[in-house]
Amino acid sequence: MNVLKHDITINAGTIWRIVSEKRRLSVKEILEMTGYKEAMMLFALGWLVKEDKVELSDNEGTLYVNLTSSLSENYY
């Protein structure tokens, strides 16, 4: 696995754990909580959406991330 893909995978796992605790967060909140660069966070969110771990929703111009998978599942 190349370095960038590895970083995206690690970041996706971190984001999934944060969202699994909160159930719903805005993209801005995730950026603030993780300190990730926006591009790296968006790559990780794309990974999570593809894996059907989270879904995205827009509420009056604010993008939210919602958990879709069971808390009993682990993301690696």
Helices (H) and strands (E) in the chain, counts: 3, 3
Tens-place pLDDT, residues 35-52: 999 999 999 999 999 999
pTM > 0.75? yes
Domain 3-67 sits in CATH at 1.10.10.580
Tell me if 15 sits within 8 A of 29, measured CB to CB. no
- Domains in the chain: boundaries: 3-67
* Dist CA 67 CA 6 (whole Å): 22
| DSSP-based helix, strand, coil % in the chain, nearest 5 | 55, 20, 25
Of the given ranges (14-28, 40-54, 60-74), which has the lowest mean pLDDT?
60-74
Of 11, 35, 20, 24, residue with least CA distance to 58: 24
- Give yes or no for residue 73 having a pLDDT over 60: no
